[in-house]
Each structure stands twice: as C-alpha cells, then as structure tokens.
Amino acid sequence: MDMNFSDADIAFRDEVREFLDAELTRELREAGRLRTSVYTDHEASMEWQAILHKRGWAAPAWPVEHGGCDWSLTQHYIFSRESVLAGAPALSPMGIRMVSHAIIAFGTQEQKDYFLPGILTGEVFFCQGYSEPESGSDLASLSMSAVEDGDDLVCTGSKIWTTHAAEANWIFCLVRTSRTGKKQEGITFVLIDMNSPGIEVQPLVMASGEKVQAQVFFDGVRVPKKNVLGKIDDGWTVAKYLLVFERGGGAAAPALQVMVENLTEHAATVIGPAGVPLSDDPAFSAKISDARARAKVLEILEFRALAEMNAGRNPGAISSMLKVLGTELSQEITTLAVEAAGTRGRAYQPVAAKPGGPIADYVPPADGYVSGETWQAVAPLLYLNDRAGSIYAGSNEIQRNILAKAALGLPQF
C-alpha cells in the first residue's frame, strides 16, 4: 500500500486549502469548532452548503451528471480530511450523503428531477425514518403500517430518534406493506412530505439538553405511490444499499487527531491532582498517548480502505472495524476532556457552544458569562452527546458480529 499522495493529489490538496481559507468565515469556523455532536448548528450548516454548492462541491460523491465531482477516491478523502482540519461545519448527511444515492440508484426520472436539485440547494431537506420505539437494532421488525388505497399508501405508526425532524420538509421512511414471508420482506421505502396532514413531530430532549431528535407520529397519512422508491414490498433492498453510505464516505481520523491535540494543549493549562499540569501527569499523559496512537492506527486503516476502493475492491469488514474503532475512540477522548475540564466542566453552559439544535429549558446568562475556558464548558456537552456513537449506524455489537463472521469465520448464533 502506497500511503504517499501523488503530485496531482498534493496540487488538489492545495486547491482545497486555498478555497477553505477564502470561504470559511470566523463564524463558520466557530460553528465547526464549537459543535457539540456530529451535527453542526443548522443555520451554519445550511450557509456552508450554499457556499459549497456555488463552487460545485456540495455533493462531490454524486455522479457528475447529477452535480457531483469527477474526483478520484483519494481526492474525496483529501477534501473530507482538509475540511475537518480547517474546522468547516458539517453538512446534514440525510439528504446529500444518504437518500440521494438511493434516489439515483432506484428512483424514477421524475423523482430524480424533483429531489436531487432541491437537495443540492437545501430547498429539499430530508430526515430519516427508520427506528421505531420497538424496532431499533433489529430494524426488520419495524411495524409502521402502509395500507394500499387506490393511488396512495395510508401510513400509520411512529418513528423515533429522528434527527432534524423539526427542520426537515421531507422524510424517507421504511414502512410495513405486507406481513407475509420473512420479516425483511413486505417492507417499502417511501418518501413522505412532512407537511402532509396527520404528521406530528414531538421533540426529544437529549442528555446534552439539545432538541436535535424527535419522535414523529403518522396518523392515517396519505402518501402517493409515486413517492415509493424502488418497488412496493422490496424496500429492504433499497435500505441495505443506503446503509453503505451511512457508515462510510468520510475521514474520522483527522477529527479525532485534532481533538487529541487540542486536549493536549488544554491539559497544559490545568493543574491536576498531583499538583502539576495534567499534560505532565504520567497517568493522564499515558491516556493521551494511547489515544494519539489509536487515532494513528485508525488513519492507517482508513488509508487501507481507500487503497482497496482505489483498486476496485470492496473494503468489506474494514468498514465495520472503522466504525467500532472510530466511535469508541471518540468516546474515550471526550471522557478525557471531561476529566481535564475538572470542576469547571460540571457547570451546564451550552451558551459557550454551538449546539446542533435548540436547548430545552435553558436560560443563558444575560451577560454571556462562562465559568472557566470555553473548552471546559463544551467538553461535558460533547461527552453526553458522544455516548450514542456506539449505537447509531448499526450498533458496535452488530459490527463485531459482522467482523466475527467476515474476518474470523466464526458461526453466528
């Protein structure tokens, strides 16, 4: 595996850096630097998407004929990496990185013509309707019903943990259209207008206090059959295809490396229990060194996956390995951040951050006062939000089962 960039790749990297330096305002960088989860402040995210769209870089992974970029896989990785290092806000992935690919692969021409341009501009903003109160990791057990009635499907049920449901004007859902055969059969993938009569959105307050997610209720919601993606009863095929894009396509290692180095810098300003700066405390330094080494290992694995894809091969189980290592390392780093924040980190101060959604029942101080350094206020919010990392996009237990079967050949029970 050659881990060195070519001269053309280095030239592209410099082009990306020049663009980021010119277009990322202080406010946008702050939104990226002070975000409390994988989701950036919504307004900042949409502003950055508009800038990227103007350059033609909002959806580089799309086919060129639909507005994507004719980039190599290495260039995609470079763009993702440089964006993270520059502190760019993250774009909401549900439209650009997820359902758009399913629309391109399974959609009718009418669906492509309507949804893809709107996703690029942000006029069409999707949320994801997969999980239900009784159906999470075992997604195929979902029960939200969709009964055929003429040219419509009448949908009844609910979805939960729906990120950005309050902001979205469309939701892509898996619904139950048949109960015969295996549970993976009889599932349909459908696109639903969030302004349809019978839809109610109830925000959920996260452990961090943010209202980023919601439970969405559907009471006899009529959805035109023309909004079905793929075929009725064959939505599981579409969902499996989309899941590939939910678990991949980015560079996690650079963000984690930045977090480790920032934490190292912060730790030098905090006097620990031993009476010396935390950065000089042997026990804490050992934890930092371990996190730095794990981030480097993760980067090498990302390069391996990139090399496999560049060679036209499926990276296979490496994607599951990356998901496990990346989310668990992130949880470890945020735990260390809370430890370094000390007593200052006990105060609930979301005013110092750029949360991904509204804060429930919180009245910020009139003068904007923050106890301690900004990072000490942001650290506990990151910690609380990051606990979900090992669950979303397929729990790490499921990923380990995949690895046991695919990499070790162990039987599944």
Select 251-406's CATH number: 1.10.150.570, 1.10.1040.10, 1.20.140.10, 3.40.50.150.
1.20.140.10
**What's the rounded Cα separation, in Å, for the pair 134 and 143?**
8
- Give the helix ranges, DSSP H, for 24-59: 26-33, 42-55
What's the pLDDT score for residue 314? 66
Q: pLDDT tens per residue, the chain (413 residues)?
A: 455 788 999 999 999 999 999 999 999 999 999 988 878 899 999 999 999 999 999 999 899 999 999 998 889 889 988 998 899 999 998 999 899 999 999 999 999 999 999 999 999 999 999 999 988 767 888 999 999 999 999 999 999 999 999 999 999 999 999 988 788 899 999 999 999 999 999 999 988 888 999 999 999 999 999 999 999 999 999 988 887 665 444 578 888 998 999 999 999 988 888 888 898 999 999 999 999 999 999 988 888 877 776 666 766 778 888 889 999 999 999 999 999 998 888 888 888 888 888 888 888 888 888 888 899 999 998 898 888 888 887 788 888 988 888 878 887 65
SS3 of 156, please? strand
* Predicted model pTM: 0.86
Structure tokens at 2: 């050659």
**Cα–Cα distance between 137 and 140 in angstroms, integer?**
9
* 3-class DSSP assignment, residue 241: helix
Cα atoms in the Cβ-side hemisphere of radius 13 Å centred on 319: 17
398 by DSSP, 3-state: which? helix
Given this model, what pLDDT does residue 135 score? 81
Burial of 311 (0-12, 13-18, 19+ CB in 10 A): exposed
Q: Provide the residue ranges of all domains of the chain, joining segments of one domain with +.
A: 7-91, 125-235, 251-406
CA 310 to the chain's CA centroid: 24
Which neighbouring-strand residues pair with 132? 135
Q: Do 251-406 and 125-235 have the same topology in CATH? A: no
Which amino acid does the sequence have at 173? C
CATH of 125-235, one of 3.40.50.880, 2.40.110.10, 3.40.50.970, 3.30.1490.100: 2.40.110.10
Evaluate whether 400 touches 324 at the Cβ level (below 8 Å). Answer: yes
Q: Which of 337, 339, 324 is nearest to 378 (CA)?
A: 337
H or E element in which residue 7 lies: helix 7-23
- DSSP-assigned letter for residue 179: -
Burial of 302 (0-12, 13-18, 19+ CB in 10 A): buried
